[in-house]
Structures are given as C-alpha cells and as structure tokens.
Structure 1
Amino acid sequence: MSDQENWLTEKLHDHYAQSLRTDEMLYDSKTKHQRLKVFQNGTFGRILTLDDVVQTTEGDNFIYHEMLTHVPILAHGATKRVLIVGGGDGGMARAALDHKTVEHVTMVEIDAGVVEFSKEYLPMLSRGAFDDPRLNLVIADGADFMRDTDGGFDVIIIDSTDPIGPGEVLFTDHFYGHAKKALAPGGILVTQNGVPFMQGDELTGTMRAFQSLFADATCYLATIPTYAGGPMALGWGTDSDARQVPLEVLEARFAEAGIETNYYTPAVHKGAFALPPYVSRLIP
C-alpha cells in the first residue's frame, strides 16, 4: 500500500479537507444507514468515522463529551433525568453517568450497529456505560422518539452527526419544538452545531429556532482538534437562568460531583459562553 493510500481524507466541506493517517484499519463495514470505519492513528489513537467523516477519537473525545454533559448538568444543579439523542459510541452516556446524582439516562441511537461495534472496538469511550443499570438504550429514530416521548427530562443532549443523511432531521424546527416539550420545567437543551467558521448556516438555523422557543438561547464553544476548522459551537436553550449560575456555585457543585476531567473546569464553563464577534454575528 502506498503512503497516499494510508491516509483518510475527510471531505465534509466544499473548500477544505483534513487528512488522518490510517496506521491500521481495524473495522470497515457498511450498515443500512452508513459506512463505519475504525482505524488506528499515531496521534489520536482509535478513530471512528461515519461515511469518512470523523465522529470521535480515543485521543480527543473527552473535550466534546465533557462539555456537552458537564456544562448543562452542573449548570442545572439538580439533574436526575438525561436524554441523549445519538452518541452510539457510549462516550456521552458515560460522561453523564459519571454524575452520581443522575438517576436515569435514556440514550436513543438509530443504528444498532454503531453500538455493537463500539462496544468491541471503542470500549475506552463507554467504559462500562452500557452495563450501567441507570442507562436505558433505545434503538430508534431520534426524531420519532422525541415526538412521542412523555418527556420530563432535566437535560437533553443532541449528540448528532452533521445535518446530512440520517442526522439531517435532528436540525429541524419541528425536532427542536418536540425537544422543548420533552424538557422538565427548568430543563436545558444542548446540541452540537458544528464548527461555525466552516458551518455558520448550521448555527444560525439552530439559533433562530432556539430563540423562538427559549428565553435563553445562545451557544458556547469548545476546541476539539479533529473537528477541524476552529472551535465547535454547542447550542444552549433553556427557560431558566442556569447560564448565570455564579462561578463559586459551579465550583462547589463540581467539587461535590468528584469527577476527574481533562478539559472541563468551572472557569472553562463560564468562559465558553464568551463568543468572538464572528460567532456572535451568526446568532440572529
């Protein structure tokens, strides 16, 4: 195999691409929904791609998972029921279940194949989450589940793929409206909204929907190396004042949780909501 063939090039954007060296291909199979690959990389460890778009890596997944779970859970302050849409690798569920005060996590994943091979090839992401009795794994379409659920969730995390293929429906106004109804009073909805420097329309569309639904609608940022093109925007919607929780309160909650992190701190939490102008201009 030539050196050129040892590289996977992600072509998510029209005028920009990143390449990752495939030191060893560990898994390559097409399900009815998408093509799954897991390969070894010298910098990032094991990498999962769907249709050659990076979803998560052994090396830097902690940033994404910590910021989409710890920020809303600690801001809320009394989170007991969490809903995750997507997240078939189990990393998001594991991060949510790290909070001992969380009593129940429902995880809705459209593709059972992602879950099964993640258990085998990416166990370091879920770290036993699939065996936690607090986890209810539902194999279903996230949009259908959100429409039909009885709700009552304190935190809802949309850990979706980009708005193409199976993930496209998770970025619609109807979906966000159903998510709002599924929240308990004071609940928080967070979403992945891509890299705003490269995918600004995605953030603008979500924020327009959020502003029609929530009293507090904005985004916060996290820098994940393999989500290339700048920091990633994470959408935030709630009718509560959870975003205004003082730093010292977050520090007390974080200390009480006793969670070891590699990216999240209460200070990072607060600072993540400080947006540079090129991002804030994308919010209607």
Structure 2
Amino acid sequence: MKSLGRHILVEFHGCSAEILNDVPRIESSMLDAAKEAGATIISSVFHHFSPFGVSGVVVIQESHLAIHTWPEYRYAAVDLFTCGYSVSPWVSYESLKAAFQAEHGSAIELNRGQLELLEKSDIDLGDLRDQATQKLMPPKISRSVWFTDKNENIALSIRHKGDRIFQERSPYQLVEIFDTFKYGKMLTVDKMVMCSEKDEKAYHEMIIHVPLLTNPGVREVLVIGGGDGGSVREILRHPQVEKVTMVEIDEVVVRASRQFLPSLSSSLDDPKLELKIADGIDYVREAADESFDMVVVDSSDPVGPSEGLFNPSFYKDVYRCLRPGGVMTAQSESPRFNQEAFVDLNHCLKGIFQPDSVHCYLAFIQTYPTGMWSFTYCSKDGTHPLQDFDPVTAAEFSAQHDLQYYNSGIHQAAFCLPTFIQTMLNVQQSAQ
C-alpha cells in the first residue's frame, strides 16, 4: 500500500438522458456500485434540481461516491474515493458506466495521502480503543432520496424510501408510485404529484361533497379522469346517486391504483360504477344533451393528455350534456403555482356558464406545491353553493362518514377567497 486512499475523478459521456434525470435510479445505481466494490454503505442523500440534473452522495465506511448529472448534455461527473486497498473504485466505475448506458467514460486516479510523504504519529488510545472496538456494530444504512414537484420558480420536495413501488410509461404519460415517509404511498404522473394516501382526502372530499351536499337531487354523475378512484369512492357515499360513469384515458393509472392504492381505489368495482378507458374529451363531445346531473373534472395539470381539459370547447360540451339545474365541479389549479391556468380557466367558465354561476373555492393540500389549491363550482341555472347549502345536513353527513377534511364550516369558508385572488380574477375579467 503506497497511499491512504484512491481517488478516481470520472466523466461519463453519451449517457441516457432519461436515466441521468431519474433520482431513484441514480441512487440505486450508486448503491449497487458501492456494494459491488465491496464497500460498507453508511448513508445516501440525493436531490433533483430544476429543471434537469441530479446531485448526490453515498457515504461508505471507506469514504464516498458522489455524482452530479447534466441530462441535457448526457453527461455525468462522478467522484469515487476509497480508503485503503480492500475496496476498488474501478469496480464502481465499470458498474456505473453500464448503469448510465454511457457511450464513453474517462477517469484519472489520484493517490491520496502518499505514505512516503507522511509521518505516522504514535498515538496510544489504550483501553479506550479496545472498548470502542468491542462495541462496534454494523452501520444502519440511512437513505435520503427526494421527489420534487416543481416549475421554473417553485418546488416542493417530499422524501421517500428510495425505491419506486411502480413505474410504467403508458402511451400518454409516466406513471409512478413512491413510498414516502410522511404521506404513505404517493401517485405521480410525469413527475407531478397526483395524490398520496395520507393527504388525498382534502382533495377528494372537497371536489365531491361541496357539489353533492348542495345538490342532493343528483342521480347520475360523470367523472372525467380520476383514475385513482378517490372521487368515485366519495361520490358513492351518497346513497341517492344511482349511477357513476368514469372516463379515464390511461388504464395504467387505474391498474397501478388498484394494486398499490386500495384505500383510494376500493370503489372501482362497485356495481353503480361504469368504468370506461377512453378519452374524456371525445366522450363528452359525443354524449347526448342533458344526460347527467353532475360532471366532475378530476384532471391532472394542463399538460399532456389533460391539456384539452382546459379548452373552452370541452367545457361547452360539459355544459351541453348537463341537465337543467345540473352542476359541474373541476380542479382548477393553484392560484400561485399555476396562476395563468387558474385565471384562464375561471374566465373560460364564466364565458360558458353565467358569471354569477361560477364560484371558486379553496382547499389546503400539503403535497401540492404551495399547499393552496382551487376548485370551481359551476351550475346550469341551478343551486348556489352557499345560499342553497344546508349546514345541518352537511354536519350530519360528515360525522356519519368520518370525513377527515370536509365539514360544514370548511364548506362555507372555502368560498371566502383571499383578497389577492379576488383581485386576480377581477382583473382578468375586466381586461377581456
């Protein structure tokens, strides 16, 4: 042994851009590289950066493996440092080159702490060292891996347990499920949080019970999207509902939710439900006039297959297929995170429904960026969500079903908008 440690500075070129932007896959590859080299893993910490790139480190008993990636250049810079000669950093090098599908790799090795230049001190720890040695136990591996939902200015990061429970790229989008420390299993689509086991009730209870407890006469409901099943579960708590038609474009979302999110998907086999794997935009376009009492637009953000659900032509068809007195409710984005989409949709709906029949309301959803999320209640010459609301019935319903977010007070307070949102919507309306 000529040195205390071996330090390899590595560059990988022509890697898979998708892999280099995938936090769990990179963390897993780095852990595997350490194990294959015979290292003892202590901890790992990995983060995703906006809009591209992953940075992380695996701390090993013999030192560390570190990385930063530039997916847009298909390039990764890696730092492999091992103390002594029992662990070979070159084994890790070959492992990572294969894992990242690199077309080319280069490295330079530095000997750290060359022994001929060092003088060893004579330090006698005596009994203290012997006692410490007797107490040594194998280290417990600590993993710190984060999922980040972000735009160019705002990000929300949630720590998960490192390995994906589910991943599949459908013809429409990337569907993934992670097991998080604070929120249980979490469904994401194209790197955006859709729902989590411990936080989903705020979303599903508010999008469903606000309209249904204001409109107890609803018998037939159409749900566009909602493949996780949470909205259907809440709808079917109302015994007067005779039929629910759910139109979800992506069967992968339904399949993943059935398998890994049973607390949400429990009602997807209910006999009152007719589940259609189809394009909701096409379905509404072809639906007969005045065929539903209520329509729920439970969509993801306005990108990919959901982009058309933020289009005026879609909502004109929704209006047409509602019966007189019918109601529509939709998730309408965050006033902060998706401000442009939020304002545009509000204006769009006021142009289709009467302006005084369109009502924005809010919920606090911790796993969505900024925490503030909006829904929009629209009626077709029907009820007002506050003037026609019975708080006593709502309170009884909430207690009967042990609802976790919705109650009669929340129902009323949700329509009390902060001044900046009132101003935002009024400015948009007056500018047109």
Q: TM-score, normalised by structure 1?
A: 0.94
1:217 maps to amino acid: V
Given candidates 318, 324, 328, the residue that maps to 1:189 is 328
Q: Distance in 2 between matches of 1:78 and 1:254?
A: 18
Distance 1:211 1:44, change over 3 A: same
Aligned to 2:309: 170
Q: Distance in 1 between matches of 2:339 and 2:418?
A: 13
Q: List structure 1 runs of 4+ shifted beyond 4 angstroms.
A: none
1:1-284 equivalent positions in 2, closer than 5 A: 1=27, 2-4=44-46, 6-11=145-150, 13-23=151-161, 24-127=163-266, 129-150=267-288, 151-215=290-354, 216-238=357-379, 239-245=381-387, 249-255=390-396, 258-283=400-425, 284=429
Shift of residue 218 of structure 1? 2.3
Q: Distance in 1 between matches of 2:397 and 2:224?
A: 27
Contact 1:75 1:250 in 2 (8 A): no
Aligned to 2:41: none
Contact 1:86 1:159 in 2 (8 A): yes
Q: Distance in 2 between matches of 1:161 and 1:180?
A: 20
Name the structure where strand makes up a greater proportion of residues: 2
Per-residue Cα deviation, 1:213-256 (whole angstroms, up to 9, x for no partner): 22311210001001121411101211223323355x23225526
| Secondary structure in 1 matching 2:337 | coil
Contact 1:76 1:242 in 2 (8 A): no
Distance 1:161 1:259, change over 3 A: same
Q: Which has the larger radius of gyration?
A: 2
Q: Distance in 2 between matches of 1:204 and 1:10?
A: 21
1:250 maps to amino acid: P
Aligned to 2:65: none
| Secondary structure in 2 matching 1:65 | helix
Q: Distance in 2 between matches of 1:231 and 1:256?
A: 25
Q: Distance in 1 between matches of 2:359 and 2:350?
A: 8
Q: Distance in 2 between matches of 1:114 and 1:244?
A: 34
RMSD of the alignment, in Å? 1.5
Q: Distance in 2 between matches of 1:182 and 1:43?
A: 41
Contiguous gaps of at least 5 residues in structure 1: none
Shift of residue 37 of structure 1? 0.8
Contact 2:248 2:277 in 1 (8 A): yes
| Secondary structure in 2 matching 1:261 | coil
| Secondary structure in 1 matching 2:385 | helix
Contact 2:158 2:180 in 1 (8 A): yes
Contact 1:41 1:47 in 2 (8 A): yes
| Secondary structure in 1 matching 2:227 | coil
Contact 2:226 2:248 in 1 (8 A): yes
Per-residue Cα deviation, 1:168-217 (whole angstroms, up to 9, x for no partner): 00000001100001111111111111110121211211111211222311
Per-residue Cα deviation, 1:97-132 (whole angstroms, up to 9, x for no partner): 1111111111010001111121001111122x1111
| Secondary structure in 2 matching 1:56 | strand
Contact 1:158 1:191 in 2 (8 A): yes
Contiguous gaps of at least 5 residues in structure 2: 1-26, 28-43, 48-144
- Greater relative CO (CA pairs within 8 A, separation 6+): 1
Q: Distance in 2 between matches of 1:269 and 1:35?
A: 34
Identical columns (%):
35
The count of aligned residue pairs is 281
Contact 2:335 2:373 in 1 (8 A): yes
